[in-house]
């Protein structure tokens, strides 16, 4: 029955992803150098049976955007793309028409929940699910930076232990259950380690004692920048990860606690040449990643690839993601992992006025949102105090961390340095016209000895 072809129209190039309007579902995806695009829609998490649409470049393409409008689809379904084009790695073109590509703008991704139980016959696919949510008047809290005390946490690790006493350990719901406890601590914001969808099984490291393959626990390996981590929901609950995340935000806001997300726009789960094609490589490899003149990936992140953040399409995608989490999820701010990469141009050089930083800083939707940079990258672009001249940007101050720890363990000669850090690091932030509140002072974090 599902194989009956649904009617279709040419569709619209915007917005990207899937947009429902009554009985019409518009699909739009960017691929500049593709020669052909097929859309597959399925009722099953296995991807079959499905209906497929071969997009006609004369009808279903505007500029570099492929699009189609499908009519009368059900309220929930799974979908993927197969994209054909040249395989010329030395020119940055890596099209393979037999790979199921995940929509970069998918709001839900299937096949990665529950935690560590992925089966090989469940492909990673985008999914669409119609949902409504009553925010009951909730709004982002807009607390000032100088009043902010941040509690960095891992969604799973925070309540996974039995002694956490929650009904849904290791989940967004588990954090919501602990909202009163968090308020008692006196903190004003939680900063969640990455919640963009990732695959915890995608880890090459082995436990040297047991020989067991390790998990990617931390999640700094995003598949896309719009879907929340499905294995952090209390699966298989009736509600989706989206709804559970919203309930968590609403509950924390009621206790006066802001929600800041650690976002990883500097690299993705696709890694370098030795890793798989998931989406960006198969849609526009040289648009989404920094490549050298031989077509090899620049590795300024230490993770095998580096996102081409200042390509206009990629820059707009990053801003779209931030806007989406502010408007759809009521998130209060973002901490940008290895943020110096946001300052780099298409050949990896430092830009005077990076497009993506300009777009983020001046975006009207994000104008009250906290922006926190980790102001360095993996190859030495260290910008503490001078990451972005705009006072909107706060910065992780590792000089504060190092001074406190060296003084604390009794190293001689650190008293003056410590006093400068405690007084607000005027030496670092003053020359840029920034204030003490632009310095995010911390002693320890998820990096290193925690």
Rounded to 5 degrees, φ, ψ at 192 are -85, 125
User: CB burial class (10 A; 0-12, 13-18, 19+) of residue 323?
Assistant: middle
Name the active-site residue from 337, 363, 395, 411: 337
CA atoms of 18 and 106, how far apart (whole Å): 7
Name the active-site residue from 287, 374, 377, 395: 374
Q: Is 337 a catalytic residue?
A: yes
Q: Is 374 a catalytic residue?
A: yes
Q: Among 245, 200, 192, which residue's Cα sits nearest to residue 219? A: 200
CB contact at 8 A, 260 and 191: yes
Q: Among 235, 196, 268, which residue's Cα sits nearest to residue 115? A: 235
Which residues form the catalytic set?
337, 374
């Amino acid at each position: 029955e599902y194989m009956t072809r649904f009617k279709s129209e040419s569709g619209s190039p915007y917005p990207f992803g899937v947009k429902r309007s009554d009985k019409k579902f518009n699909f739009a995806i960017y691929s500049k150098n593709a020669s052909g695009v097929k859309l597959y829609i399925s009722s099953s998490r296995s991807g079959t049976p499905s209906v497929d649409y071969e997009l006609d470049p004369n009808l279903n393409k505007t500029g570099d955007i492929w699009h189609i409008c499908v009519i009368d689809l059900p309220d929930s379904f799974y979908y993927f793309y197969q994209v054909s084009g040249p395989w010329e790695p030395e020119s940055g073109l890596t099209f393979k028409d037999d790979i199921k590509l995940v929509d970069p703008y998918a709001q839900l991704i299937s096949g990665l929940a529950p935690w560590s139980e992925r089966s090989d016959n469940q492909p990673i696919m985008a999914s669409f699910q119609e949902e409504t949510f009553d925010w009951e008047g909730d709004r982002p809290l807009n607390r000032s930076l100088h009043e902010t005390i941040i509690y960095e946490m891992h969604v799973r690790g925070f309540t996974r232990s039995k002694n956490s006493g929650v009904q849904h350990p290791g989940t967004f719901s588990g954090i919501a259950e602990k909202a009163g406890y968090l308020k008692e601590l006196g903190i004003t914001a939680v900063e969640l380690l990455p919640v963009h969808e990732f695959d915890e099984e995608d880890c090459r490291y082995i436990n040297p004692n047991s020989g067991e393959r390790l998990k990617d626990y931390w999640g700094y390996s995003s598949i896309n920048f719009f879907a929340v981590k499905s294995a952090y929901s209390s699966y298989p609950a009736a509600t989706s990860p989206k709804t559970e995340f919203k309930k968590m935000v609403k509950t924390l806001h009621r206790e006066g606690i802001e929600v800041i997300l650690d976002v990883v726009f500097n690299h993705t789960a696709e890694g370098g040449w030795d890793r798989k094609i998931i989406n960006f490589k198969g849609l526009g490899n040289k648009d989404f990643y920094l490549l050298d003149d031989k077509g090899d990936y620049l590795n300024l992140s230490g993770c095998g690839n580096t996102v081409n953040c200042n390509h206009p399409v990629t820059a707009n995608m990053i801003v779209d993601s931030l806007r989406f989490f502010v408007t759809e999820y009521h998130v209060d701010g973002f901490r940008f992992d290895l943020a110096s990469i946001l300052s780099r141009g298409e050949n990896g050089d430092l830009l005077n006025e990076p497009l993506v930083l300009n777009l983020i800083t001046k975006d009207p939707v994000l104008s009250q949102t906290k922006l926190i940079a980790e102001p360095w990258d993996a190859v030495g672009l260290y910008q503490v105090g001078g990451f972005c001249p705009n006072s909107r940007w706060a910065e992780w101050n590792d000089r504060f961390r190092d001074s406190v720890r060296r003084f604390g363990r009794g190293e001689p000669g650190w008293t003056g340095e410590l006093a400068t850090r405690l007084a607000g690091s005027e030496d670092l932030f003053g020359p840029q016209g920034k204030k003490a509140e632009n310095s995010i002072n911390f002693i320890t974090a998820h990096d290193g000895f925690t």
